[in-house]
Chains A and B, each alone.
Chain A
Amino acid sequence: MQVKEEFKPTIVAFCCNWCSYAGADLSGTNRLQYPANVKIIRIPCSCRLNPMFILRAFQRGADGVILCGCHPGDCHYTTGNYYARRRMTLLFSMLDYLGIERERTRVEWVSAAEGAKFAATMNDFVETVTKLGENKRLEDLRCKSE
């Protein structure tokens, strides 16, 4: 039981360069705290997120993956986030089928002005994933031994 209390999930956050990465920067500039478990990977657009990357993250032991992009209609590349939304809808339902809890994955639209939303989203997401506990379903233990 002690182990459970100390559990700190590994969270990978993919942020689009134009809105959400800037939103994450803004929450830093405003000194809004969110847990250190969240590590951000910068991608040019939410549509750059290959579902493979999410599977890879779960395989390597991530406990939750979140994608942040520009609000629908505000994509720097006009339509990228619409593609991302569709792809993630499909991927998440597949992950659900595989037994990855629906709460471990999330898509959130965060604009460059929404530093507070970014921090709040991350706090909420970390809390949710912490409650779910460790991700065992897709983790490939062979990767750990390397």
Chain B
Amino acid sequence: MQKIGVFVCWCGSNIAATVDVQAVSDALAKEPGVVFSTNYQYMCSQAGQDMIQEKIREFGLTGVVVCSCSPRMHETTFRKTCEKAGLNPYMVEIANIREQCSWIHKDKETGTEKAIILGRAAIAKVQLNAPLTAGQSPVVKRALVIGGGIAGIQTALDIADAGFPVDIVETKPTIGGKMTQIDKTFPTLDCAACILTPKMVDAAQNENINILSYSEVEAVKGFVGNFSVTIRRKARFVDETKCTGCGLCTEKCPQKKVPNEFNLGLDNRRAIYIPFAQAVPKVATIDPNYCTMLKTGKCGVCSKVCTAGAIDYQQKDELIEREYGAIVAATGFNPISMDKFDEFAYSQSPDVVTSLEFERLMNAAGPTGGTLLRPSDGTHPHTLVFVQCVGSRCDGGEKGKPYCSKICCMYTAKHAMLTREKYPDTDVYVFYIDVRTPGKNFDEFYRRAVEEYGVHYIKGMVGKVVPENGKLKVQASDLLGGQQLHIDADMVVLAAAIEPDKSARPLATMLTASMDTNDFFTEAHPKLRPVESPTAGVFLSGACQGPKDIPETVAQAGAAASKVIGLLVKDHLTCNPCVASSNEMMCNGCSACEKVCPYGAITYIDKDFRGPNRTTLRRRVAQVNPAVCQGCGACTVACPSGAMDLKGFSNAQIMAEVDAICK
């Protein structure tokens, strides 16, 4: 039997006005196990807390019931109070007689009666409370950033600056991501490469950052503070430590007809390649799908010209396993495929390009050396039509995406402006549903495109693009002018919607992180915890959480890094002790609990039990990892044998409360 102390708070007149506190403390004094009961004006005041501590010592209390305001208000306060007096903090229960009694009732008699019942329920519960100790789990002081775009690079740099080692895993041969392919950035029109490549070099030179390029995350085990991650280092058939990045092999390779993905297939590269001049790490990679040596065993030119002896045709994929305290998902985005949008003739004419392809055509390091030329015949285009919202803001989902891709209005204005600036002889039309420019200096930028650069903005959608005699016949509606337009265009640029990278969903499964219907990672709270995933220890950076422009991405990357640093500075994590636990003697290993656990906190082990006649029985039993369990209790109800229970909210405790209330 517990020795329980009951402390009834007046809360000034907040409680005392509608609840007869003296009657409550007198009535509760008669409850079984109660050895002391009193009431006081402000229990949460220093004097009130001192009294609780004094009575704990005086009566050797093993349980405390405070009848006061909501536990959401002062549960922590009273737990700390009791802890200081040597009582386990989880031996405290709060009866909420303010928000759920005195404030909602006017009649003092009813209020008093209800307060007594609520007090009884709390006493009945505390009778069954057991001291709980918050477990501690150590924190591995290293972070993993998945994705090496600007989001991943910035997150890694910020974490590394705080002194923690970071690994960046990037699936491509180089870090840099989409930003490397962009020509200029809005609204300042500074060159993307000029601001990004120094950051890439910083990341490569930072001694706390380890870049694992051409690698993929294969499996994730563990939990916050203690993740164990298997990473596949794909064979690049070049020894990274020996390759100097001289590029001789990429010039001599006889296999010249490989579509260059860096330029989105607008030109070709060799089978051995360095994606672009400023690649980090600047190491050649052999594409096994095209290399003649790897496919037929005959060639070996690159090996002959390589003075460093870095070529290794025998290289195999390598699996490495590393421990991390925190994981940041920064998997980024891709423009959607234009397959379903055949009305724009993307597959029929090479002069219909996506905006990202247009970036490459305008880029000095692109396939045309920065001169805007039609991909079909290499002539200079005079009339350009930009189509916005291709696949964005589509209702009914199947063809496009329901959301706004957010960045298209701005980059289209940028493209239109740059075109007009470089080639004043061009006519540029932009078809839009709405122009959305909420951002610092964004609307000014768009207005400049219209007012200073004379870009024709037309509200309406393009209905059809038909290639005819080397021209693109564009049919469109002008909603404001109320007429149909027919434009003979030389080029059509489609602002394709953006979608999360395909690697995001399998990754989310590995991380047990949740995703929305569009495969964007879900944040722990849409407003108050925007860079954390609901899974502890997993953080979100960049466009994998939702469409973002570069400044937003960098801001979020920094925020994610600060959350990671906040986690890694801790030596130990204190776990919530109110977690599920399984009674191994009752567990039959059926897996019902594992299936409902949203956190993957339940695992199974084969355990030996002593059987009759000195035999040993091996049984499969559930085990809860207290560091991963968040204490929702879903498993406790799913368990058919009653083996699973939740500490702090056990079946017996809740039943006792039910009994006390229904008495």
What is the chain B residue whose CB lies nearest that of A24?
A: B100
Chain A hits for B633, CB < 8 A: 43-45, 47-48, 80
Are the C-beta atoms of B637 and A49 separated by less than 8 Å? Answer: yes
Are the C-beta atoms of B104 and A53 separated by less than 8 Å? Answer: no
Give B405 Cβ to nearest chain A Cβ, in Å.
23
Chain A hits for B100, CB < 8 A: 24-25, 28, 40
Please, what's the 1-or-0 string for B575-605, where 1 marks a CB less than 8 Å from any CB in chain A? 0001000000000000000001010000000
Please, what's the 1-or-0 string for B491-535, where 1 marks a CB less than 8 Å from any CB in chain A? 000000000000000000000001000000000000000000010
Does A42 belong to the interface (CB within 8 Å)?
Answer: yes
Q: Which of A28, A41, A47, A77 contacts B121 (CB 8 A)?
A: A41
Complex Cα spacing A28 to B113, Å: 17
Are the C-beta atoms of B662 and A57 separated by less than 8 Å? Answer: yes
Q: Which of B106, B631, B661 contacts A41 (CB 8 A)?
A: B661
Does A1 belong to the interface (CB within 8 Å)?
Answer: no
What is the chain B residue whose CB lies nearest that of A22?
A: B72
Are the C-beta atoms of A31 and B637 separated by less than 8 Å? Answer: no
Complex Cα spacing A78 to B106, Å: 38
Does B68 belong to the interface (CB within 8 Å)?
Answer: no
Other A-B pairs, 15, CB within 8 Å; known A33-B105, A50-B651, A80-B633: A21-B72, A25-B96, A29-B99, A34-B104, A36-B111, A39-B118, A39-B661, A40-B96, A43-B654, A44-B632, A52-B651, A61-B662, A62-B661, A80-B634, A119-B104
For window 290-328 of B, CB contacts with A under 8 Å fall at: none
Spell out A's residues near B (CB within 8 Å).
10, 12, 21-22, 24-29, 31-34, 36, 39-45, 47-53, 56-57, 60-62, 76-80, 83, 87, 119
Are the C-beta atoms of B596 and A44 separated by less than 8 Å? Answer: no
For window 89-117 of B, CB contacts with A under 8 Å fall at: 96, 98-101, 103-107, 110-111, 113-114, 117
Are the C-beta atoms of B649 and A48 separated by less than 8 Å? Answer: yes
Are the C-beta atoms of A12 and B662 separated by less than 8 Å? Answer: yes
What is the chain A residue whose CB lies nearest that of B111?
A: A36
Complex Cα spacing A48 to B534, Å: 19
Complex Cα spacing A43 to B107, Å: 28
Give B402 Cβ to nearest chain A Cβ, in Å.
16
Chain B hits for A56, CB < 8 A: 655, 658-659
For window 628-656 of B, CB contacts with A under 8 Å fall at: 630-634, 636-638, 646, 649, 651, 654-655
Please, what's the 1-or-0 string for B605-642, where 1 marks a CB less than 8 Å from any CB in chain A? 00000000000000000000000001111101110000
Chain A hits for B121, CB < 8 A: 39, 41
Does B663 belong to the interface (CB within 8 Å)?
Answer: yes
10 contacts between A and B (CB under 8 A): A25-B72, A25-B99, A25-B100, A48-B632, A50-B636, A52-B655, A56-B655, A62-B661, A83-B634, A119-B104
Give B330 Cβ to nearest chain A Cβ, in Å.
22
Does B48 belong to the interface (CB within 8 Å)?
Answer: no
Q: Which 7 A-B pairs have the closest CB atoms?
A: A28-B99, A48-B633, A60-B662, A77-B632, A28-B103, A47-B634, A45-B632
Chain A hits for B348, CB < 8 A: none
Q: Looking at A21, A47, A51, which has the most chain B CB atoms within 10 Å of its CB?
A: A47
Are the C-beta atoms of B598 and A36 separated by less than 8 Å? Answer: no
Give A78 Cβ to nearest chain B Cβ, in Å.
5
Known contacts A33-B105, A77-B634, A62 near B662 by CB under 8 Å: yes
Complex Cα spacing A40 to B660, Å: 12
Does B71 belong to the interface (CB within 8 Å)?
Answer: yes
Chain A hits for B103, CB < 8 A: 28-29, 31
Q: Which of B637, B649, B662 contacts A10 (CB 8 A)?
A: B662
Give A49 Cβ to nearest chain B Cβ, in Å.
7
What is the chain B residue whose CB lies nearest that of A59?
A: B662
Are the C-beta atoms of B636 and A48 separated by less than 8 Å? Answer: yes
Does B76 belong to the interface (CB within 8 Å)?
Answer: no
Chain A hits for B106, CB < 8 A: 33
Does B70 belong to the interface (CB within 8 Å)?
Answer: yes
Complex Cα spacing A47 to B141, Å: 35
For window 417-457 of B, CB contacts with A under 8 Å fall at: none
Does B183 belong to the interface (CB within 8 Å)?
Answer: no
Are the C-beta atoms of A77 and B598 separated by less than 8 Å? Answer: yes
Give A55 Cβ to nearest chain B Cβ, in Å.
10
What is the chain A residue whose CB lies nearest that of B110?
A: A36
What is the chain B residue whose CB lies nearest that of A27?
A: B104
Does B170 belong to the interface (CB within 8 Å)?
Answer: no
Complex Cα spacing A62 to B107, Å: 23
Does B657 belong to the interface (CB within 8 Å)?
Answer: yes
Give B253 Cβ to nearest chain A Cβ, in Å.
50
Q: Which of B596, B646, B654 contacts A53 (CB 8 A)?
A: B654
Give A13 Cβ to nearest chain B Cβ, in Å.
9
Give B348 Cβ to nearest chain A Cβ, in Å.
42
Complex Cα spacing A39 to B101, Å: 9
What is the chain B residue whose CB lies nearest that of A144?
A: B663
Are the C-beta atoms of A83 and B630 separated by less than 8 Å? Answer: no
Complex Cα spacing A5 to B637, Å: 38
Give B508 Cβ to nearest chain A Cβ, in Å.
12
Complex Cα spacing A42 to B657, Å: 10
Complex Cα spacing A42 to B113, Å: 20
Known contacts A22-B72, A36-B110, A48 near B646 by CB under 8 Å: yes
Q: Looking at B100, B630, B636, B646, which has the most chain A CB atoms within 10 Å of its CB?
A: B100
What is the chain B residue whose CB lies nearest that of A15?
A: B100
Complex Cα spacing A96 to B638, Å: 22
Are the C-beta atoms of B114 and A39 separated by less than 8 Å? Answer: yes
What is the chain B residue whose CB lies nearest that of A79?
A: B598
Give B122 Cβ to nearest chain A Cβ, in Å.
10
Chain A hits for B71, CB < 8 A: 42
Are the C-beta atoms of B104 and A44 separated by less than 8 Å? Answer: no
Known contacts A33-B105, A83-B596, A47 near B663 by CB under 8 Å: no
What is the chain A residue whose CB lies nearest that of B117?
A: A39
Complex Cα spacing A51 to B655, Å: 11
Are the C-beta atoms of B634 and A45 separated by less than 8 Å? Answer: yes
Chain B hits for A12, CB < 8 A: 658, 661-662
Complex Cα spacing A43 to B632, Å: 9
